[in-house]
Structure 1
C-alpha cells in the first residue's frame, strides 16, 4: 500500500484489509486520481462486523450520561474541524466549499439532537395496572447496525444516522461511497478522539461486494441506506429477506409549482439555487418546475438570466457551481441533454458549452435549462441527478397537482405562491413526504424526520428525529409484581386485571 491509499477503520485504527482490491478516488475539478481506496472483500466485512459486535455489549451497558458526554465532545470537535471536513468533501465530491460547509452544519444539527436523546429514550411506567402489579416499557438498542451512504453527501448523510445509532447504544458499521470516502474517516477519528470506544464506529469501504456482505451478515441487525430508487428497493428486499430491520431512502423527481400570484423573482432565485446547487446532485434538488399559466414565459426568462450570471468551476475558487463527481456521471447527465433535444424540448441554456473556471480535465457540465418539457420525455421521467432543470407548463392549479401526484416518486416538492389558501390546499393534497411553501429545498430540521413517500422510501421509518430513535431501538414491556411473603397458590385461569 502507498501513502495515498485510503484504508478501512477498524478497532480505532486504519486497516488495509486482505482483499487487495482498490478503487480510484478523483479530484473532480481536475480529473486527476488523488488516492486509491481499499475495497473490502466478504471476509473483510466479516472482520469489521466482528469488531463492532465485540464492542457492542460494553457500549450497550455504558450509562446514558457517558454516551451523551461522548456526543457532546464529538459535537465540539466536529465544529472545530468543520473546515477540514468541508475541504475533504470538496476535494473528492467537487461541490463548492460553501456548500460543503453547509452540509457539515446540517449534520451538526443532528448531533445536537442526539446530545439530548435521553428524553426520548425514557420509557413509560404505569403503577398498579392491576393490584400490586406495575407495567413499564424500556427502550433497548438493536446491536450492530449498518449505514450505507451515498456520494452526494459524504458527511451529512452519515451524520443523519451515526449520532442517533450510537446514542441509542448500538455499534455501527459505516459503508460510505467509494467515490468520496475521506470525510467518513474524519468523522470516525473525531468520534474516537471524543472518547468513543474502539469498535463502536467502524468504517469499511467497498463496492457492491461490501454492500451484499453487510446485507447478508447474520450479526447485522438493521440497515440504513440512502441512494437511487432501484438500489434502495433491492437493499430493502435483500435486507428484510435476511431478517433485518431496513430503512432505504431512494431517489426523487422533485417538483416546484409556481402559481400565477407568486413573486417571480423569489421563485426564479429558488429554482436556480435548488436546481443547480451541488451541480444538481441532491436527492432534494428541484429538477421539474411546473409553471401554471400564464407565468411560464416570464419565469423562464428570469431563470435564464440568472443562469447566465453563474460561475461554474473549481469549488475552491469561490465559484457558484462545481463539477460532477465522475466523468462517467458527467457523460450520463450530458446524454440526457441530447435526449431532451431529440424529444422536442426547447433547450434554453446548454451546460455542455460551459467554460469553467478550473482545470480543463475536470468533470464539467454547466447549468442546463429546458422549456416546454412534457411528461413523456426522459428528461422528466428519469432521475438525472445533475444540473438539468426542466420546465413544464400547467393550465391550472389542479392540473399541476395532478402532474405531481402522477409521479412514482414522492420525496420533496415546493409551491411558490402568496395565497395562503392555495398553499394550505397544496400541502394537504400533494402526495409527497416533504413539502416546502416558498421554500425550495424543504429538508426538515433535526428534531423532525426526513423521508419521502412512494418510490422514494422503502420501509416505515424516516431518517433522524423521533423516527430515527424508533428505528435504532426496540421496546420491551415489563410486568412486575413484588408480593408479600407467602403464596397465593397455583392459579390456572387467564390473568385478569383487578
Structure 2
C-alpha cells in the first residue's frame, strides 16, 4: 500500500513529465536559487522506470567561481558570528528537517530508488549530525595552562579554516551532505557542495531549509556537474578543505589533486565488509541480520555486509539465509511491501549481473539468483533481486570486487583465527562484525581485527555522531574522519597563544575598587 502523501508526490512528478518541460535543478549561490546558464545537462532518472524526472546543469566556470567567491565573502562575517548564534541556527535547522523529513525521503526514493523506510533512515542519520553540530561550541573548546612562567599564560583554541567543499555520492543523497556542511558551517566555515548528478534534489531541499533556519547568504552554496566541477573544486585557491565519499578511483584522484594544491582532503572510499559467524551465535537473529545488512538499500551502501565467513558448523546456516532472502520483495521504493528497490542505473545493474555470472564461471555456487527480476508495472527498472553466492576461495570475483548490489558472498572456514586472517587480508577496512555468544571470542576478534568499525552482534556498526566514522586502510584517504571530534578538527585549525601580562603595583595608576567605595 502506498501512503497518501507518497501518491500525491508521485502524481505531481508524473504530471510534470506529462508536459514537455523537464525541470532543471538550479544552482544555489549567495542565498538565491538561480537557473544555470549551462548548455550541457545530465539527465536524472527514476531507477524504477528509467524515466527522466529532472536534469542537472553542468555549472559554468563563471557560476563555479561565483559560488566560491560568495562563500569567501560570507566567511569574513560568518566566522566572526558568535558560536552560540551559529548553534541556534543549527537547532532551528534540526526542527525544519524533522518537519520535512518525509518530503525529502520521497525525493530520494524517486531519484535514488531506495524504499521509503530506507530513505527516511537516510535523512535521519544525517539529522543526527546536525544535532551534533548544535553543540559545536563544546567540540571546539581548546586547552589552557596558567602561569607557565611568571606572568605568562598559554592557551589554545580552534578557528575555522575558510571555504570548505563537499563532493557527494548517489547512495545517500541526504545523509552524506549532512555529514559535510553542518559541521563545517557550525564551526564558522562556509561551504560549497556538489551533490551527486544522479540524485540532487534532496540537497536542494536541505539548502532551502538551511536558508529558512537563518543561515546567511553565501554560507552555503550548491553547484552541479561532473568531472569539470570536481577539478574546479580541487584547484580553486579559496577552497581550503574537501570532503568526499565515493569510489576508490575518484577518491584517490581527488585526494591526490586536492592535497597537491595544499588542501585538506578527507575521502571515504570503497568497502568489502565481512561478518564472521560463530557456531554458538543465535541462529535465528544472525540469519535476519545478515539478510537485512546484505540486501537492504539494494546493497548500495559502503557499510553493507557483503561477505559472510561461516566458522565451523555455522556453514549449515547458509540454507537459512537463502530462505530468508526469498522473503524479500523487489520493486518500486514507493511500495510499502518492498524491501529491495532498484539499482541506480542500467550500467550498475549490468555490472552487478556480470559479476554474478563471472563468479559462477569461476566456480561459485549460486544458491539464489536475483538476475532477470521483472516487476509488474516497472518492466524497465534496474532491478536485481537478493543473490547468495557460495564461493570457493578469496580470488573469486564476487569476493574481490565491491559489487554495490544485493549480493551476499559466502565463505566457510574451520576456526575464528582463519576468519580474522581472511578479513585482515582484504585491502578494505571500513567495517566488520562478529556474531557470537562467547565473550572471549568477541574480545579476541575486536583486538585482532584490522578494521576501523567493529560490530559485536551488530550487523552494520556505523558510529553515532558522538564518535567519528572511522573506516581504515583502503577505505579512506586522509587522516581525519567524518563528524564527531575528528570531523570538527578537519574543518578547524588550532591556534596557541602565549600571553605575558605581568602585573605589580597599581597597574600603571589604575585605581582598584575596594570595599565601601
TM-score, normalized by length of structure 2? Answer: 0.92
Instruction: Give 1:482 deviation, angstroms.
Output: 2.4
Query: Following superposition of structure 1 onto structure 2, how do residues 82-481 of structure 1 map, counting pairs within 5 Å?
Result: 82-296=101-315, 298-318=316-336, 319-356=338-375, 358-481=377-500
Query: Following superposition of structure 1 onto structure 2, how do residues 26-65 of structure 1 map, counting pairs within 5 Å?
Result: 26-65=45-84
Aligned to 1:496: none
Identify unmatched segments of 5+ residues in structure 2. Answer: 1-19, 506-517
Q: Deviations over 1:16-65 (max 9, x none)?
A: 33332110000111110111111123333222111111111110001111
Instruction: Give 1:325 deviation, angstroms.
Output: 0.7
Q: Aligned in 2, Cα 1:274/1:323: closer, same or farther, shift over 3 Å? A: same
Matched-pair contact (CA < 8 Å) for 2:151–2:503:
no
Instruction: Give 1:3 deviation, angstroms.
Output: 5.6
Counterparts of 1:431 and 1:42 in 2: how far apart (Å)? 43
Instruction: Give 1:358 deviation, angstroms.
Output: 4.5
Q: Deviations over 1:321-372 (max 9, x none)?
A: 1001111111111111111111110011111132325511111111111013
User: Over the residues paired in the alignment, what is the CA RMSD in angstroms?
Assistant: 1.4
Instruction: Give 1:484 deviation, angstroms.
Output: 4.9
Counterparts of 2:104 and 2:376 in 1: how far apart (Å)? 23
Which moved further from structure 2: 33-42 or 245-254? 33-42
Q: Deviations over 1:158-195 (max 9, x none)?
A: 11121110110000001111000000011111000000
Counterparts of 2:415 and 2:157 in 1: how far apart (Å)? 52
Counterparts of 1:334 and 1:44 in 2: how far apart (Å)? 40
Matched-pair contact (CA < 8 Å) for 2:22–2:53:
no
TM-score, normalized by length of structure 1? Answer: 0.95
Counterparts of 2:67 and 2:371 in 1: how far apart (Å)? 43
Matched-pair contact (CA < 8 Å) for 1:311–1:357:
no
Q: Deviations over 1:62-109 (max 9, x none)?
A: 111110111011000000000011001101000000010011111111
> Matched residue pairs, number?
485
Aligned to 2:17: none
- Asked if 1:482 corresponds to 2:506, the answer is no
SS in 2 for 1:468: helix
Matched-pair contact (CA < 8 Å) for 2:306–2:407:
yes
Matched-pair contact (CA < 8 Å) for 1:8–1:14:
yes
SS in 1 for 2:371: helix
Instruction: Give 1:287 deviation, angstroms.
Output: 0.7
SS in 2 for 1:353: coil
Q: Deviations over 1:403-439 (max 9, x none)?
A: 0000010000011111011011101000000000010
Identify unmatched segments of 5+ residues in structure 1. Answer: 487-498
Matched-pair contact (CA < 8 Å) for 1:220–1:244:
yes
Aligned to 1:71: 90
Matched-pair contact (CA < 8 Å) for 1:78–1:108:
yes
Aligned to 2:509: none
Counterparts of 2:307 and 2:214 in 1: how far apart (Å)? 45
Counterparts of 2:123 and 2:353 in 1: how far apart (Å)? 29
Q: Aligned in 2, Cα 1:485/1:19: closer, same or farther, shift over 3 Å? A: farther
